[in-house]
Structure 1
Amino acid sequence: MAAFAKLPATAKTQPTPFTASTPESELNEFKELLKLSKVGKETYESTQKDRKYGITSDWLAEAKAQWEKFDWRKVEDEINSFPNYTAKVKESGDTFDIHFAALFSERTDATPIIMLHGWPGSFLEFLPILKLLKGKYTPQTLPYHIIVPSLPGYAYSSPPPLHRDFRLENCAEIVDNLMVGLGFGDGYVVQGGDVGSMVGRVLGALQPRARAVHLNFCVVPDPGDDVPAADVDEAERAGLLRGQAFLRLATSYAFQHATKPSTVGLALSASPLSLLAWIGEKFLDWTDEDPPLDTILASVTLYWFTGCYPTSLWPYRRLFGPGAGAGIHENPAWRIDGKPLGYSWFPKELAPTPRAWVATTGNLVFSRQHRSGGHFAAMERPEVLLQDVEDFVAQVWPRPEA
């Protein structure tokens, strides 16, 4: 048995080992489609180097050239260097095949932690953290079970059903049922960013087994007079201005996802280069520093080969669709009371929320402010996010006396 692949004795189901392996015929088709894809004509807007109107023609042309030489098999090798599985999980009468990467500990007192991604991310974001843990611990010493699923509709997991709407609560139930099946019915810790933070918040509010929640994305309504101005420091005030600018100038994609997901889903499924332009822009704009191009290409290639872009848009109806309310404010009913809430603040997040604001949404017992990092914290600052999670778990998950 491979290292870190031994499930706990309490597991109720036996997931199926999974190997990422794209058929050669699909690789060849992708290469041909990419070769035939054209970069559009230059315009005034597409030549602005500050990208204030979106990605530049030059960037897309250079990215295409590098993508044509990109080795997807190396990414698959990286994925397959960790234990991967699929598990059948039931929710509302339907059965989903949920993919997840994992590191299982052989310690009987290991803390179960599930780490949840968002859009346009995937489980790939957390592979640097898994690599750090593999280097730091052995299966016998790892203090945690780390579960990193592909959310429904993303990557290798089943899409949402065709016959009914699918919401954050449905996703949260699937995540909870997955953890119960893996043997963690007594409780687990949730970590999440972007959509994963919202699923994590629902878990914390509605599922008793989600015993602690750590977030690195937490958009909440302005609490007004409930939080004195003195409780928000200079860096956090700058973060609020960043969030206001994002809402005003950079949420058009989200309204498209929410109001016309069928149109944009079908359109971007027709051309890999179009998908790269749409998703690549977010990786450039939502990070503290531009990621390596190969990192962006790996994520977009995963979306392309799994065909998951159209099926990944379901969360946006809840946040930006008709009846969703103004902005991206979370449901105030999703308070995390009676259990610990942790928060990591990164300055180049889309909407860096002050600690005092986050504290109005639950029992905030841990928070840490960082000087660098953006929306994809697990990918951008894996050492930092991992340390925060380890410190949070040490604080909120007591271990039995040796």
Structure 2
Amino acid sequence: MPDDLPRPEPFVPQTTPAELEDLRRRLRATRWPDAPDAPEDGGWAMGTDVGYLRELVAYWADAFDWPAQEAALGRLNRFRVPIGGLGIHFVHARAVAPAGPVLPLVLSHGWPDSFWRYTKVVPLLTDPAAHGADPADAFDVVVPDMPGYGYSDRPTGPPLDSIAVAGLWARLMSVLGYERFGAAGGDIGSHVSRYLALDHPDRVVAVHRTDAGVPVFSGDPADLAPEERAWLEEGAAWGRTEGAYAAMHRTKPQTAAAGLTDSPAGLAAWIVEKMRAWSDCDGDIERAYTKDEILTNLTIYWLTGTIGSSMRMYRANGAIPPAQLARRVEVPSGFSLFPGDLVRPPRAWLARTANAVRVSEPPRGGHFAAFEEPELYAEELRAFFRPFRAAATA
């Protein structure tokens, strides 16, 4: 490693008993809201189901074994490194017994999660032979926590947008010795991966995404294909009925952050409703995740105090100039459109906005596909990146 590059240091956090006792005390002292009596407004119709939330909070307080989950996360190769004035936490897992060129791959998460999104898929990508796949499809995998998420530092100045984070990831890959690499992600991670391809096309051999983000088009709608116009209308309708959280994040994130940072039950309500709504679970969140998996995600947010800083990234992204949003990705691009995800883009839009060389529609999975369906997601990445492996080592 050149002397001018920072050196990653191993990182294994350990939660103190006092931190856990404070969490349990707060959970047991929750003041519960009332719930509507009208059947049409009950359950999840108006937001988080209070009955389910009570059940989850009780389990979090009295049965959830965070030390066991923390130990499991600690078995991943985790590091921190100073980049751009921030300590960046990341997983770095190298390929196991590869049978050909190894492709480095940086995976970018979204909201409301962290490196947690990819914890199940990392071993499938680094050691495909152990999971019934071709050893020639092995990756070196890098999974960073974005600034203000998980165990990465929170920016003390203005929040960083996806363009700035893409620049940090390019620097991180240099620190790790990877000149050329693949990029993949979903949600905000899709934006970060897109800007990696846009701003570093000489380094990103190919980019894979599970969505195309919120549609932005300022031209004449008559120039769009019918399915593109329908998608824009569908996206606007989704925003009116489901987008209140994003409007809060973009405009007044500190208002929500005050309560969510103080109340673990409130934090759970804010995040769990999205995990349920955005997953391929037919309305039953525990078809997609166990309670332990849900609470691992929540506990990372709670212990790191990053709900406010994670929401502020929406504000930063909301200020990205339209000209940046309209740029077309020329790097070879792949899209896996999982059926349970949010508003899914038509192929005409993908071809308009990217050099879409592969578009697939897996049979199952939602917004958190890498966690919900890790085997399917891993196979999507293997299939897409297979033709580009040699380019990373050329």
State the 1:314 CA deviation. Answer: 2.6
User: Structure 1 unaligned runs (5+)?
Assistant: 1-7
CA spacing shift, 1:241–1:225, aligned 2, 3 Å: closer
Contact 2:127/2:138 (8 A) holds in 1: no
CA distance in 2, matches of 1:307, 1:166: 17
CA distance in 2, matches of 1:316, 1:378: 22
Q: 1:148 aligns with which of 121, 143, 146?
A: 143
Contact 1:168/1:202 (8 A) holds in 2: yes
TM-score, length basis structure 1? 0.85
CA distance in 1, matches of 2:171, 2:163: 12
State the 1:333 CA deviation. Answer: 3.6
SS at match of 2:339: coil
State the 1:398 CA deviation. Answer: 2.6
* Structure-to-structure mapping, 1:246-257, within 5 angstroms: 246-257=238-249
Partner of 1:83: 77
TM-score, length basis structure 2? 0.87
CA distance in 2, matches of 1:118, 1:25: 30
CA spacing shift, 1:141–1:267, aligned 2, 3 Å: same
State the 1:44 CA deviation. Answer: 3.4
User: Structure 2 unaligned runs (5+)?
Assistant: none
CA spacing shift, 1:384–1:153, aligned 2, 3 Å: same
CA spacing shift, 1:206–1:274, aligned 2, 3 Å: same
State the 1:392 CA deviation. Answer: 1.1
2:87 partner amino acid: D
Partner of 2:193: 200
Partner of 2:90: 100
State the 1:324 CA deviation. Answer: 6.7
1:160 partner amino acid: P
Partner of 2:104: 112
Contact 2:69/2:296 (8 A) holds in 1: yes
Report which of the two has the higher share of helix: 2
Contact 1:340/1:396 (8 A) holds in 2: no
CA spacing shift, 1:17–1:87, aligned 2, 3 Å: same
CA spacing shift, 1:83–1:118, aligned 2, 3 Å: same
Partner of 1:59: 52
Partner of 2:343: 351
Asked if 1:341 corresponds to 2:333, the answer is yes
CA distance in 1, matches of 2:30, 2:142: 37
Q: 1:175 aligns with which of 169, 172, 175?
A: 169
SS at match of 2:80: strand
SS at match of 2:33: coil
* Structure-to-structure mapping, 1:3-402, within 5 angstroms: 13-44=6-37, 48-49=41-42, 51-68=44-61, 69-90=63-84, 95-105=85-95, 109-133=101-125, 136-137=128-129, 143-162=138-157, 164-184=158-178, 186-208=179-201, 209-219=203-213, 220-221=215-216, 224-226=221-223, 228-229=225-226, 243-289=235-281, 290=285, 291=288, 292-320=290-318, 331-337=324-330, 339-398=331-390
CA spacing shift, 1:84–1:210, aligned 2, 3 Å: same
CA distance in 1, matches of 2:244, 2:256: 12
2:271 partner amino acid: I
CA spacing shift, 1:10–1:212, aligned 2, 3 Å: farther
State the 1:244 CA deviation. Answer: 4.4
CA spacing shift, 1:47–1:316, aligned 2, 3 Å: same
Partner of 1:3: none
State the 1:29 CA deviation. Answer: 0.9
CA distance in 2, matches of 1:334, 1:154: 27
2:162 partner amino acid: L
Residue-pair matches, total: 376
State the 1:59 CA deviation. Answer: 0.9
SS at match of 2:207: strand
SS at match of 1:269: helix
Contact 1:244/1:351 (8 A) holds in 2: no
| Worse-superposed segment, 46-55 or 309-318 | 46-55
